[in-house]
Structure 1
Amino acid sequence: MAKKQRIPHKFLPWIDARKKFRLSNAHIQMARELGLSPKRFGSYADTKDQPWKVPLPQFIENQYEKQFGKERPDVVLSIEEIAAAHVAKRAQRKADKLKAASESEPTEAPPEQP
Structure 2
Amino acid sequence: MGVKKAILEKWMVAQKKHHLSDKHVQMARELGLNPDKLGKIDNHTQETWKAPLPQFIEEIYYKRFKREAPETVKPLKQIMAEQEKKKKEQKKAKEIRRKLRDENTDVSATDIID
Give runs of aligned pairs for residues 6-85 of structure 1, distance below 5 A: 8-85=5-82
C-alpha displacement of 1:51 = 2.2
In structure 2, C-alpha distance between the alignment counterparts of 1:52 and 1:40, rounded to whole Å: 18
- Aligned-partner SS, 2:60: helix
**Corresponding residue number in structure 1 for 2:84:** 87
Q: Spell out, residue by residue over 1:27-60, the C-alpha distance to the aligned partner (whole angstroms, 9 max, x if none).
A: 0111111111110010111224432221110111
Q: Quote the offset at 1:109 in angstroms.
A: 3.0
Task: State the Cα RMSD in Å.
Answer: 1.9
Greater RCO (Cα-Cα under 8 Å, separation 6 or more): 1
- Bigger-Rg structure (1/2): 2
Distance (whole Å) between structure 2 residues aligned to residue 66 and residue 39 of structure 1: 23
Amino acid in the other structure paired with 1:34: L
Relative to the length of structure 1, the TM-score reads 0.79
SS of 2:14 mapped into structure 1? helix
Mean Cα deviation higher: 46-55 or 26-35 = 46-55
How far 1:71 moved relative to its partner?
Answer: 1.0
Segments of 5+ residues of structure 1 without an aligned counterpart are 1-7
**TM-score, scaled to structure 2:** 0.79
